[in-house]
Structure 1
């Protein structure tokens, strides 16, 4: 486990990327969401590993990217904030195929024991070219993650619907003085 690897997960469109940008602005190392990078690469290259075309292929690619991200983060200084994690990608694969990968991958590649979840926030949810699912699908994914992280031994903090500055302050306060 790497206590310095902190996961921001939760509902699509719940403000994770905005929070990650605020933490980056404050000088923290950050890792962008694997899924969005996979989608961009697949679209740019005419690939089919897209969640709305082949969810299993997409999840497998997101798992690979997540593992690469963890390996690369070893070279980053201090606390590293991840927009989603290997757990999210493994949960997507298990959901799509029933393949039992979550327990093995989720326990083998650990993050900080505290995970921050952004809850569904309909007022800011916006589909885009990389987020084609509707809010109901996003809420279903959130509910799965809300169960999965504690089942893997993580302490979950659900972030309130407040300004990004206040959310960042809350995250840093929850992590304690070593991260502030």
Structure 2
């Protein structure tokens, strides 16, 4: 079976996780965002914001986890498999921070190819920050631009998800997939 790998991406606070949770409730296979786990593990070790204090170490851990998710999806019998962010998100965030990264980050973007990428624009009405999300709305807008640029650099056609309720946004994604 040729499992379709579908990324749902966007800047912080755009509703990605809410859509992923809705897809899970509807019985779809979803690989959830792992950055919060990395952040919480670092906080347990006394590092408040690992991405801010050591962006490369944070991103290396994230890359390892996302590559594993990609490999796991190749062995999935469910179709499709949704990802809460993809490997190119890591490069986009590093570019946002103005950080250098090793060649294997770029190689991973080329090796881990997704079938479809849905992108959610920053939406001020739903944006909130919390202990793991340090960015303000202006930074979320900048991150969005980096995500657009990075995914386009790797030849993805980005599918915009309109502002709406979680249920309607999820329906939009599923309907779009039936016509692609």
TM-score (norm 2): 0.88
Matches within 5 A, 1:81-160: 81-95=82-96, 96-99=98-101, 101=103, 102-112=105-115, 114-160=116-162
- Offset at residue 48 of structure 1 (A): 7.0
Per the alignment, do residues 144 and 49 of structure 1 end up closer, same or farther by CA in structure 2, a change over 3 Å counting? same
Distance 1:17 1:156 in 2: 18
Contact (CA 8 Å) 2:95, 2:146: kept in 1 or not? no
Q: What's the Cα RMSD here?
A: 2.1
Runs of 4 or more above 4 Å deviation: none
Q: Aligned residues, how many? A: 176
Q: Unaligned 5+ residue runs, structure 1?
A: none
Q: Deviations over 1:29-81 (max 9, x none)?
A: 01111211211221223357712222222111111110111122234322111
TM-score (norm 1): 0.88
Q: Unaligned 5+ residue runs, structure 2?
A: none
SS state at 1:169 partner: helix
Contact (CA 8 Å) 1:160, 1:167: kept in 2 or not? yes
Other-structure match for 2:58: 58
- Offset at residue 23 of structure 1 (A): 0.6
SS state at 1:176 partner: helix
